[in-house]
Amino acid sequence: MSALLTVLAALIASGVCAYHRTSLRVWAVATPIVTLVVGLLLQTPWTTVILLIIELAIAVPLLMVPFRRQQISAPLLKLFAKVTPTLSDTEQTALDAGTVGFEGELFSGKPDWHVLLSQPKPSLNAEEQAFMDGPVEELCAMLDDWQITHELADLPPNVWEFIKKNKFFGMIIPKRYNGLEFSALAHSAVLQKLASMSPTAASTVAVPNSLGPAELLLHYGTEAQKDHYLPRLAVGEEIPCFALTGPYAGSDATSLTDFGIVCKQTVDGHETLGIKLTFDKRYITLAPVATVVGLAFRLYDPDKLLGDKADLGITLALLPRSTPGLQIGRRHFPLNVPFQNGPLHGKDVFVPMSTLIGGPHMAGQGWRMLVEVLSVGRAISLPSNATGGVRSAVASTGAYARMRKQFGLAIARFEGVEEALARIGGLTYATAALSRATAAAVDRGEKPAVTSAIAKYHTTEFGRTVAGDAMDVHGGKAVQLGPKNYAGRAWEGVPIAITVEGANIMTRSLMIFGQGAIRCHPYVLKEMQALSISDREEQLQTFDRALFGHIGFGLSNAVRAFTLGLTGSRIGATAGDAYTRRYYRKLNRYSAALALCADVFMGVLGGKLKFKEKLSARLGDVLSYLYIASAMLKRYEDTGRPEADRPLLAWAFHECVWRMQMALDGAIRNFPVRPVGWLLRVLVFPFGRREVPPSDRLGRRVAALITAPGEARDRLLEWVYLTPTANNTIGRMHALLPEVIAAEPIERKFAKALKAGQFSSHDYVEQLAEAQQQGVISAADLVLLKRVHQAVFEFISVDDFDSAELRAAVTRADSEKASQAA
């Protein structure tokens, strides 16, 4: 027994060093001392000697750095070079393009929460707030979504003019070019508010401020191109689109079949060096109305007119709409959300070299240009539109569930509806925090490649869930399209957000962990970069440092994951107050578990992990939910730790942690090397899966918060258009909600009297009059009940049409005849 205790003491000493990530020297001193002291106390000389020999046999060679490099690191470097998959140029460009923010801490296994909490609180400046209170409010008051989606299949001309006049297309353009030069947070706020009224308007405004000509010109354009285009783009004199996707290149944008050939051609009597373009693009937002087209294509120079290379690679150009041979103007019809979107084509379209973004010297740099700016646009546009949509669902569904009565009760009181309301509230809290976090990262100067993919995927997936729940709660009200239906078009448009800017299936299975594992890991990229160092001695030194740092990192995460799992995440100094400290500790545990599993998966599977997309997707889910939970905690801190928000935070946090657990469980359970999977399960889940989804009781509290006025609901509805104008049903429902609640106790008195048979009439209004006469309700009560009843009837009503109204004004046959005649 004494011998076992001595061994246990040595293991604990090593474990403490690993847990706290002490240096190798500290371990080499501390562990033998503990072994010696415990051995002397317990009088186990032989066990102590054997342990000391083992410890010194490990420590001495590792501390002799020259010996370690030559005898251990050098052979491992050769092996590493053989098994490490070679990154393609496009993969390397993508890795080099972005930056790493707090997600790097989450991948460390030991996050420094001070890094997160010391980040400045995101807020709008006075000019941005004035724009939100002025032009954005005015624009929302002009939007009639039924008119846009059904009658016009477009924004009305006065809306287009207002958008241009007030520089909605110039939010990212600097003031020196007559733009607004807004922060990413303001950009996000504008889109959220517009999305709460019209997804079509939000998409129309989003695209010129996302990946497109303005963003590309700002980063890579020549001064002449900037001076010419940016002032025009800012005021809508030019409307941009960017053409990347084609029939054979969707999510795999590097497989472009569109091409350009460098050649000379006589133009206006002069021999001109240019490019002959052939392209076939589709799904291009704003293409039908665009006046300037950003075009991605592969550039070839067979006659070597620009240099020695024949295949220059992906290249970007700007084509005016008037370019001869450019076929543009027809429209796609994306699921009844009629933002301008369509194809464009061209065959042997000649353009001068001056159309290349950045000029001729940027030929072949298109992929780098795209990946460097794509993350910024993806971090804002779709997450913001999704956030506006889910916030709007809170406003409408929370109010409707309190107004709509069945079986004498507001449907919000039914547990099935309550469950859906809890998801709407909790996921909206998470979505708002996530979109806010990514916008703040952009404002800090980051190029958040990994977290923009997280934001795009999860905000749109949360949006899908919330839209479905909103439809379920509204029932038939949401099914019947018409001017009174504010939910149906949002539901129809969900797959659009899921699909664009990188289909969600691809984003989850290839991008989040695929890039995150290399970008965020503190050692993998350094080890890979060591392979490209030409100087042998420098290469070995670099690899040696990274390798043994990596080994210590892996051992530490194994100890931390096991210890924190064994203790139920109840130990360790961390951030937060008495309420949130337990949350930070949970994240510490799962951060260590993710880092451990990622190391083991990459170490055992090597390059094969790239093709194990389901495993990568699950590990990506863990990273995603760690980031989302961190964003929620930061939001909670930035808003002053409001007690009213705690049910929302708790629901969303427990949902994230439960999903993390299930993702890790799925990854370990499906790991192809079973003995390794068994060991991981012991380290990560020493007591099995103990996390549970949010409880029914917690869900009830969340549902109560979103179905009644209050500060928590108000914060969820930030940047939703709530002005109770004639075109804003949701705003009028929100305004009525306090009166609906005030009427409830009066309605209960009235219902009790009705059940007792006190009224002779069957008409509701006459029954109210009888109730007043009998003293059941007061005159003021009668006025309130009449007003609420009348208003609620409007909100629960649906539309109906004459059959002729539903027929297309122009049939497909009519269109084909017109085309043939033309």
Tell me how far apart the 2 most distant CA atoms of the chain are, in Å.
Answer: 104
CB 347 within 8 A of CB 370: no
State both tokens at 808.
């297309």
* Contacts of residue 542, Cβ cutoff 8 Å, sequence gap at least 6: 526, 529, 530, 533
**Helices (DSSP H) in 606-685: which residue ranges?**
613-638, 646-669, 674-684
Provide φ and ψ at 271, rounded to 5°. -75, 125
CA distance 389 to 203: 12
Has 501 been annotated as catalytic?
yes
Chain CA centroid to CA 254, Å? 23
Geometric angle at alpha carbon 209, from 204 and 213, rounded to 5°: 105
CB 293 within 8 A of CB 321: yes
Helix or strand (DSSP H, E) at 260? strand 259-267
CB 216 within 8 A of CB 267: no
215, 238, 418, 501: the active-site residue: 501
Provide φ and ψ at 274, rounded to 5°. -160, -155
CB 693 within 8 A of CB 412: no
3-class DSSP state of 209: helix
3-class DSSP state of 668: helix
DSSP β-bridge partners for residue 262: 275
Chain CA centroid to CA 230, Å? 28
CA distance 102 to 437: 10
Provide φ and ψ at 535, rounded to 5°. -70, 120
State both tokens at 701.
């509290």
3-class DSSP state of 319: strand
**Which residues in 432-452 are b (16+ Cβ under 10 Å) and which e?**
bbbbbbbbbbbbeebbbbbbb
3-class DSSP state of 43: coil
Give the CB-side neighbour count of residue 126, counting CA atoms within 13 A: 0
CB 352 within 8 A of CB 267: yes
State both tokens at 793.
């009837």
CA distance 229 to 225: 6
State both tokens at 781.
């009560």
* Contacts of residue 465, Cβ cutoff 8 Å, sequence gap at least 6: 423, 427
Residue whose entry in the numeric block shows the structure tokens 């298109």:
366
Pairing mode of beta strands 292-300, 240-243: parallel
**Nearest partner of 551 among 524, 533, 528, 588, judged by Cα:** 524
* Contacts of residue 185, Cβ cutoff 8 Å, sequence gap at least 6: 122, 123, 124, 128, 436, 439, 440, 443
Provide φ and ψ at 94, rounded to 5°. -65, -40
State both tokens at 71.
């005898």
CA distance 131 to 137: 8
State both tokens at 437.
């976090």
CB 702 within 8 A of CB 647: yes
CA distance 635 to 520: 23
CB 6 within 8 A of CB 38: yes
Sign of the CA dihedral 286, 289, 292, 297?
positive
State both tokens at 177.
């070019």
Point out the residues that are catalytic: 501
